Structure 1
Amino acid sequence: MELELAALAGVAASTVVGGMATAGWESVQRAMGELWRRVHPERADTVVAELGEARAEVLAAREHGGEAAETAEQQLVGEWQARLRRLLVAHPEMVPEIQRLVDELRPPAAEFGSRAPSVTLTANASGNSRVTMSGRDINITKG
């Protein structure tokens, strides 16, 4: 279950960070604020403020472009993934809410024209490591 929660948190974090620099920013901010108000109402305003700070970072990074922008966004995705994973571990009943958030905020495929966006995944492993990568849904069972 921990892997599934981490995967969902990762997808949600990518969706949230990706939406920070789009016209859908208000939807991202509202959805995340509502989510936090359900489980930690005392922290919701702080989370919304931190989203605003993260958005400013994304916009500044995109303005400069290049590899630095990509790195900045990846770091923000990692930060929000960790937050969302902790939220899901503490409140697994929020899984449907997080999935709804992802479905609501993810741009429709029509916005990408006839070609869906590409996903590039890179992993390095050594020894007895196991790497599992997915560009979307994944189910993992121990075998």
Structure 2
Amino acid sequence: MDPEIASLASTAGTTLVTLLTTESWQGIRDRLVSLWQRARPDRASAIADELDAAREELLGAQATGDPEAEVEVGAEWQGRIRRLLTAHPELATELDRVMSGCSPDSR
């Protein structure tokens, strides 16, 4: 596996988990769904639903003090993003731009 793709997927998964519990979550959701729409249009709607479910899971975990949920959700999305980039490496530059523009540090 390309180490750059693995690193980008790891960073993207971590950033995604952080942003899903903020007020700006809809923007990152829409941008990620757009990437899936380009690469796997048949999965884009399901990805949108799964991102919504991940947000609800994370918000529930925050309310109950379950820090493991964040780690698990992050790992799950890191894997999904890694698989997307492995199959469609042409999306790596765009994903990097999305994550750079949405990172918690850029707010």
Q: TM-score, normalised by structure 2?
A: 0.93
Match of 1:102 among 96, 99, 102: 99
Q: Which has the higher contact order (CA 8 A, sep 6+)?
A: 2
CA distance in 2, matches of 1:108, 1:78: 21
Aligned to 2:61: 61
Aligned to 1:88: 85
Query: What are the ranges of 5 or more consecutive residues in structure 2 without an aligned counterpart?
Result: none
Aligned residues: 107
Note the aligned Cα RMSD (angstroms).
1.3
Percent of aligned positions that are identical: 38
Q: Could you say what secondary structure the match of 1:93 adopts?
A: helix
1:21 aligns with 2:18: no
Cα deviation digits, residues 80-131 of structure 1 (max 9, x gap): 001111111111111101101111210235x6xxxxxxxxxxxxxxxxxxxx
CA distance in 2, matches of 1:14, 1:98: 13
**What's the CA shift for 1:26?**
0.8
Query: What are the ranges of 5 or more consecutive residues in structure 1 without an aligned counterpart?
Result: 112-143
Q: Which has the higher helix share?
A: 2
Q: Could you say what secondary structure the match of 1:108 adopts?
A: helix
Task: Say which one has the larger Rg.
Answer: 1
1:76 aligns with 2:73: yes
Cα deviation digits, residues 46-68 of structure 1 (max 9, x gap): 00000001100000000112xx2
Q: TM-score, normalised by structure 1?
A: 0.71
Listed as ranges, the matches of 1:103-122 within 5 Å are 103-108=100-105
